[in-house]
């Protein structure tokens, strides 16, 4: 199913940026997401926020206005039921912001409160993880409702701060030994750093949307204090560098298998033989600041390098939502990883799914949206594609943002960027947006290597289906 929404000419384009703190009021007993820690939260290293930008479209008829809302939240993951709940509340509160024009992204910091219930109980074994997925639902509804009210206040601030602006964008490859592919250490990631820049009509920089590729895991699994991890330090550093004049949002790109380099070193050949130092890195807040500050400095240089002639004041956008179905199936194959993979798959299909199907009838915020088609049970999720068409006098250009519902591996992300209707230099992937169903990996990674990633994922075919359906969406858009 494909919906095309909003094709509006923006004359006197407007934008606003804002943020609101979402650190829980009482941290005592709060479970943290990202790792199976033995302890609950013991404080904060830095506050966590919901950041957002609002773009106002103004057609020739001033009564016909539409808005595009992009939200980035310092949370591990936002399942579709939680995202839909928040979007519904926003649409109810602001009738000029349609449900379809809202994009909600989780930065994926591993030092945030658990909102899914997966991490309600301590423990690191497969059975501990399954217990959280099966019985952790509704453990954090109070925080989710409080968070949604905070976001409503955030949108109120955005509406009050709209100002005329112009827009530009730019990308560059950036990885001076900062990011490593944890599964293939000798394959140096070709990480893209992208910026979407907004200036006022006097050419003063207002705000930046930042897009990079790296897991926010600079802090080790021993950390038990809340933090937005390096994305939070990027935003804080940009504010410091500009005396608080420039606002920023961070959106993670295809980073499902990309980790920051903290204590594992850069002897890639050695790490190819023994990957343990990558998985067991003991990063501290010093590493968090170092990575965040380094990226922030390059973001500012990249933004400042965009010449004024490349900024546009007229903008139209087309937003597409594609609803997709990902079946819980296993491919036919045999390899050294087959037995372990098959065990996980069978437990999910014949134990986990059987219990969850009963629980889902009684819950408000389930982890996955389960749909049954005949004998096949799958997860329903969405892809979103937003095409921006810019114009200045006779010059016209396009760029796009598209989303995937999970942690996208680098190789699939690279293929999608090259196949995007707006081309690789004019396309931005926002992973972990509007939903989380899986690590989105190529089938070869599953069949040949396996690993812990299939454990948390809804289906081993999630990456295959998301890739396939996104290409179908691209084709429909091109037509």
**DSSP character string of 400-422:** EEEE-SEEE-HHHHHHHHHHSTT
In contact, 238 and 248? CB cutoff 8 Å = yes
pLDDT of residue 357: 67
Tokens 């597409």 — which residue?
320
List the chain residues with pLDDT less than 70.
Answer: 1-11, 57-65, 124-126, 129, 134, 356-357, 359-365
In contact, 163 and 56? CB cutoff 8 Å = no
Tell me how far the alpha carbon of residue 304 is from its chain's centroid.
25
Q: Which tens digit of pLDDT belongs to each residue from 105-116?
A: 999 999 999 998
pLDDT of residue 140: 87
Tell me how far the alpha carbon of residue 177 is from its chain's centroid.
23
Q: Quick one: which of 407, 442, 83, 49 has its CA closest to 213? A: 407
Domain assignments of the chain as residue spans, ordered by start: 9-315, 316-478
CA distance 178 to 310: 30
| Furthest-apart CA atoms within the chain: distance in Å | 64
pLDDT of residue 291: 98
In contact, 241 and 300? CB cutoff 8 Å = yes
In contact, 19 and 52? CB cutoff 8 Å = yes
SS3 258: strand
The H helix count followed by the E strand count for the chain is 13, 19
Give the pTM: 0.94
DSSP strand pairing (166-173 vs 102-106) = unpaired
Q: Quick one: which of 85, 113, 154, 108 has its CA closest to 26? A: 113
CA separation, residue 365 to residues 78, 86, 136, 161, 440 (Å): 10, 11, 10, 32, 22
Query: What residues are paired with 438 via a beta bridge?
Result: 406
Q: Which tens digit of pLDDT belongs to each residue from 83-139?
A: 999 999 999 999 989 988 999 999 999 999 999 888 888 776 667 767 777 677 778
In contact, 375 and 349? CB cutoff 8 Å = no
The alpha-helical segments, DSSP class H, found in 274-382 are 276-279, 285-304, 338-347, 353-359
CA distance 96 to 90: 10
- CA dihedral of 62, 16, 430, 227, whole degrees rounded to 10: -150
């Amino acid at each position: 199913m494909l919906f095309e929404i909003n094709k509006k000419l923006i004359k006197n384009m407007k934008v606003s940026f804002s943020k609101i703190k979402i650190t829980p009021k009482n941290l005592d007993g709060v479970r943290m997401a990202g790792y199976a820690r033995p302890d609950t939260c013991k404080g904060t290293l830095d506050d966590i926020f919901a950041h957002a930008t609002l773009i106002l479209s103004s057609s020739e008829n001033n009564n016909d206005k539409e808005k595009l809302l992009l939200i980035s939240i310092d949370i591990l993951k936002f399942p579709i039921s939680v995202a839909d709940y928040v979007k519904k509340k926003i649409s109810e509160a602001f009738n000029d912001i349609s449900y379809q024009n809202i994009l909600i992204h989780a930065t994926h910091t591993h030092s945030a409160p658990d909102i899914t219930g997966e991490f309600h109980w301590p423990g690191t074994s497969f059975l501990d993880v399954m217990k959280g997925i099966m019985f952790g639902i509704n453990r954090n509804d109070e925080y989710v409702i409080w968070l949604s009210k905070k976001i409503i206040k955030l949108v109120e601030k955005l509406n009050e701060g709209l100002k005329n602006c112009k827009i530009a964008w730019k990308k560059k490859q950036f990885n001076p030994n900062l990011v490593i592919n944890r599964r293939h250490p000798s394959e140096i990631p070709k990480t893209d750093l992208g910026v979407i820049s907004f200036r006022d009509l006097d050419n003063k920089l207002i705000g930046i949307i930042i897009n990079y590729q790296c897991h926010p895991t600079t802090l080790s699994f021993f950390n038990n204090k809340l933090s937005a991890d390096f994305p939070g330090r990027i935003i804080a550093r940009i504010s410091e560098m500009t005396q608080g004049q420039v606002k920023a949002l961070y959106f993670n790109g295809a980073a499902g298998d990309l980790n920051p380099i903290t204590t594992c070193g850069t002897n890639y050949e050695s790490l190819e033989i023994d990957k343990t130092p990558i998985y067991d890195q003991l990063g501290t807040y010093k590493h968090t600041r170092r990575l965040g500050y380094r990226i922030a400095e390059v973001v500012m240089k990249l933004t400042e390098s965009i010449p004024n002639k490349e900024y546009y004041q007229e903008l139209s956008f087309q937003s597409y939502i594609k609803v997709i179905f990902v079946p819980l199936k296993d491919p036919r194959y045999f390899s050294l990883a087959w037995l372990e993979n098959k065990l996980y798959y069978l437990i999910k299909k014949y134990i986990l799914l059987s219990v969850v199907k009963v629980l889902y009838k009684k819950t408000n915020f389930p982890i996955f949206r389960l749909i049954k088609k005949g004998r096949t049970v799958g997860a329903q999720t969405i892809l979103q594609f937003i095409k921006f068409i810019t114009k200045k006098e006779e010059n016209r250009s396009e760029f796009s943002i598209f989303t995937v519902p999970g942690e996208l591996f680098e190789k699939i992300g690279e293929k999608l960027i090259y196949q995007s209707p707006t081309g690789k230099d004019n396309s931005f992937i926002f992973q972990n947006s509007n939903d989380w169903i899986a690590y989105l990996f190529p089938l070869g990674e599953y069949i040949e290597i396996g690993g812990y990633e299939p454990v948390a994922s809804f289906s081993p075919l999630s990456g295959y289906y998301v890739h396939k359906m996104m290409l179908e969406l691209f084709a429909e858009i091109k037509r």
